[in-house]
Amino acid sequence: MQAGFKQDKIYTFIGPVLVSVNPFKQAAIQRIRGMYSAETMRKYSGRQSFELPPHVYTIAESAYRALLRSSKGQCILITGESGAGKTEAAKRVMEYVMAAAAAARPSAKATGREVQDLLLQSNPLLEAFGNAKTVRNENSSRFGKYVEIFFDYQGQPLGGRVSKFLLEKSRVCVPGKGERSFHIFYQLLAMGGDGGDGSSCVLHALGELQAYSYLARSGTTQVAGLSDADEWSATAEALTTLGFSPERQTQLMELVAAVLAIGNISFQSNRAAGQVLAKTDSQAAVVHQEDSLKVAAAALKVDPRKLASALTNRTIATGIDRMSTPLDAAQSAHARDALAKALYARAFDALVEQVNRAVAPPPHAELTLGVLDIYGFEIFEANSFEQLCINFANEKLQQLFIEFTLRAEQAEYAAEGVAWTPVEFFNNCVVVELIEGSRPAGVLLWLDEECVVPKGTDASFLTKLASNLSKHPHLEVSKDQAARTFTIKHYAGDVAYAADGLIEKNKDLAYRNQIEMLSESASPLIAELFPAATRGKTSAKKIETAGAQFRKQMDALAATIGRCAEPHYIRCIKPNLKKRPADWDAQLVAHQVRYLGIVENVLVRRAGFAHRMPFSRFLGRYKMICRGTWPAPPAAQSPADSCAAILAAAHIVKAGYELGKTKVFLRAPASVFTLEDRRSRALHDVARILQGAYRSFAARRYRIKLREKSMAVFEGLKRRRGSWRLPFLGDYLDAAEAPEVTRMLLKAGEARVYFADRITHVNRNGKAQERILLISDRSVYVLAPTKWRVNVRVAFDELEGISLSTFADGFMVVHVGGGAKGGGAALLLQVQRKAEVVTMLVQEAGASVVCSDTIEFRSKRAGMFETSATETRTITFVESAATAGSAALLDEKSAATGQLRVLVPPVLGSKAELQIGKGGAAPAA
Ligand SMILES: Nc1ncnc2c1ncn2[C@@H]1O[C@H](COP(=O)(O)OP(=O)(O)OP(=O)(O)O)[C@@H](O)[C@H]1O
Ligand SMILES: [Mg+2]
């Protein structure tokens, strides 16, 4: 991965999981030019995952195609640390899918376009309200989201749905040091009251950023390279596109302004305010500065007195009775922050709801592609409720992954009749149960319990965990009373959670009197967000804890994902903590690889077969690897046998694969690469064949010329039986395609095969042998027919001449000069395509031709042992009516004597035409 990263290859596949390493920022984007261009998108369109280098488009493409192919929902799950690139990846996926849909769209149909715009516009809007600058990421998503895009069966988008998880609302009141609150606050102040319909006094009365304590406290107000005013324009445009009316936009921005104004309200105790009071009320708080109260009340459009009362009192309803207790200054500040958080959180909910209304698909839509952008595992020094939820989510996703893989694999193996031999891996379902279980109760349920019992505290919660779950192998409650932590052994590592604050975060109660106060707001938006509770028992009882809500959301998510055909995974990794390009912190990366469960992903997947492919696809893709299956497997051969032949040709051993009923299963991922490698080499060869076909045009012209020329060569010299009537094709054996021949030619520095055909070679012992005669651009070869092994090579310049009989037999003697001892051994050959061979040698090697019925030639000595010594022999051609058949025969007895005799039947002798003169006795070609 590191090596790839250095070369800007930010994507890698580890098993089925795409790992993306954040290259960081514009500098990187400029360097990796074209990485996300339309051109690159086109390149990935319609390609299999292993055909091109890994890319986020690989995953997007395979999800989109799988959606269309299987008509089953797909999901892409993206996890990783903050700043690792999840949101960027999610956006790239969405863009790719939209582009792919647009490319597939019939031009007459424009319906998909609008949906596409709406969906893409939802990103800047949700980011404005849900993202913030943190120390880890300038644009950190402070909520998790699952975006589903609905498609019709032609792959055109119909609409979408956004589900969000766990907005970090505490940020509204206390952004960390060096961090900011949600972008929208800064956008609001940057636009200076221009938002909405422009008529709002609240917005016109906005102050300086430094005047708002919620924003000023963190000490950071700017993000380098980011203009909040420009961002506001984008947000405003998105609001309009997504159907927020000008009035609604004003109300929304007034709500945001109200949150800031609320933050400026401060409290002091009654006594400090100098009031004379009953004893019990001496600690009760009053608002410190009336002005700030008025500003906040104006923004909220409520009565200032009611606002003050709602902040300094707490109402508890017991049945139909109501009891109001005054709060002290600290409690009031707490109530104030609770109000701000509740307002913002509900506004965010409403925002998501409006987005969902705007992009809502038609009711019949059901085919979805979902993209999950959610935090990966979090392990900090101090881990609290948020980490518990996030890590629980990751456990749940891991569980889904395992179930999916195992279920799908087992079902498939059973269907294909392939044996299943499981490999060890950690199944985390015990940890999931430990957290969310109801029978026996898990951690979240015990927490809920402590929120309901009258005197429940963080400490009593811990005690209950210890007494009820202490035997659980994945839970450990700290014995150190002061530490007050419990440790869960997650699949990614052990995490110690602090008990302090869990109860309160889990209760997450909106104050009743605050809700009532807000329900009377003159702002339609605020009144809508806080409907007055209907009096009675039901509403009081149905308070859901944050943990219970999150569990519900996770169940819903798991159910949604569970309906998908198969999840696709992207794991994002941060190469360093400094947000710097080209900086690789090996330890940090190793840590993330572990926490992201990448190793587990691979292990689970490896439990079975890494790769599978239906026979037909396998054959289509790899048939060129094997001679027996190229260009098409024999019709009589079963697809399974053809696949086996290919696997054998690629040297993949039997243990490395299984053949099911319809699919090939490959055990090791490396096998895929082997096959791909062989394929590309074979394709290279096929390309050569095609090039050859191109060249054969020229070659054909050459051969036609050659044939004409052959007339002249034999003019009046020889009887012929018509071999000149045969077309000259040259390479009858496709020798040029054999790798052995290529190697042989390379070795001799030769480039072309002019001729190759089967012939008979008469050896020094007078024995006829099946051989191949091959003529290149510089030599004549006699080759053994198996494996093209070279028997004899005669370079053209060693060639002395050719002797033929005057009959129409196929014998020829190729005289060889040179050699160490004043001349080499001649070749005695019997050739079908004599005319072609002789003419070619005349043409290319300048050989001279002599026709005579007695030929003298040098031959190697006969004998048991190979020797370079030569002797002179003669061969005589005699016409013999007694010769059966139509071929000239070598008299075998004569062969042993060194005085060879060839018996020529009359059809090749006196009865064959004598070629004299062009067009004379010779028939037209
Ligand atoms: N593929 C990429 N190419 C170039 N820059 C990238 C890429 N991915 C991420 N970045 C850079 O890293 C920053 C952080 O990425 P992103 O916001 O996607 O992280 P995240 O995983 O969503 O983090 P968080 O959990 O905080 O939301 C981006 O703003 C961008 O500058
Ligand atoms: Mg993000």
Q: What is the pLDDT of residues 143-159, one digit of tens each?
A: 999 999 999 988 899 99
Residues 470-474, mean pLDDT to the nearest whole number: 89
Query: HSE of 203 in the Cβ direction (CA atoms, 13 Å)?
Result: 24
- Is 46 annotated to bind a ligand? Reply is no
Of the candidates 254, 378, 658, 879, the residue annotated as catalytic is 378
- Is 130 annotated to bind a ligand? Reply is no
Q: What is the DSSP letter of 668?
A: S
CATH code of the region 611-685: 3.30.70.1590
Axis crossing angle, helix 304-312 with helix 329-359, rounded to the nearest 10: 110
CA–centroid distance, residue 757 to ligand 1 (Å): 64
Cβ pair 798, 819 in contact under 8 A: yes
Cβ pair 759, 742 in contact under 8 A: no
- Is 80 annotated to bind a ligand? Reply is yes
Residue that wins the pLDDT comparison between 647 and 721: 647
Select from 24, 33, 168 the residue to mutate for testing ligand 1; criterion: most ligand atoms less than 8 Å from CB.
24
Instruction: Characterize the bridge pairing of strands 849-851 and 799-804.
Output: parallel
Select from 137, 180, 592 the residue to mutate for testing ligand 1; criterion: most ligand atoms less than 8 Å from CB.
137
Q: Atom 11 in ligand 1: which residue has the minimum CA distance?
A: 24
**What are the E-state strand segments in 805-921?**
811-816, 827-830, 849-851, 854-860, 870-879, 889-890, 899-904, 913-914
Give yes or no: 137 in active site.
yes
Give yes or no: 376 in active site.
yes
Q: Which of 336-350, 520-534, 753-767, 845-859 has the highest mean pLDDT?
A: 336-350
CATH code of the region 393-404+425-508+523-550: 1.20.58.530
> What is the band of 90 on the pLDDT scale with cuts at 50, 70, 90?
very high
pLDDT value at residue 539 = 46
Choose the weakest-confidence range: 274-283, 365-374, 844-853, 900-909: 274-283
> What is the band of 687 on the pLDDT scale with cuts at 50, 70, 90?
low
Indicate which atom in ligand 1 lies nearest the CA of residue 373: 22
> What is the band of 576 on the pLDDT scale with cuts at 50, 70, 90?
confident
Q: Is the CB of 87 under 6 A from ligand 1?
A: yes
> What is the band of 617 on the pLDDT scale with cuts at 50, 70, 90?
confident
CA–centroid distance, residue 87 to ligand 1 (Å): 6
CATH topology assigned to domain 719-921: PH-domain like (2.30.29)
| CATH 3.30.70.1590 location in the chain | 611-685
Residue 738 has pLDDT above 80, yes or no: no
**439 phi and psi angles, rounded to 5 deg:** -140, 100
Nearest ligand, CA of residue 78? 1
Nearest ligand, CA of residue 33? 1
pLDDT value at residue 197 = 62
Contacts 24+ apart (CB under 8 A), 699-707: 699/730, 703/727, 703/728, 703/729, 703/730, 703/836, 704/728, 706/836, 706/839, 706/840, 706/843, 707/835, 707/836, 707/839, 707/925
| CATH 2.30.29.30 location in the chain | 719-921
Residues 344-372, mean pLDDT to the nearest whole number: 95
Q: Atom 8 in ligand 1: which residue has the minimum CA distance?
A: 85
Q: What is the pLDDT of residues 402-435, one digit of tens each?
A: 777 777 777 777 888 887 665 566 778 899 999 9
> What is the band of 263 on the pLDDT scale with cuts at 50, 70, 90?
very high
Of the candidates 79, 137, 642, 671, the residue annotated as catalytic is 137
| CATH 1.20.58.530 location in the chain | 393-404+425-508+523-550
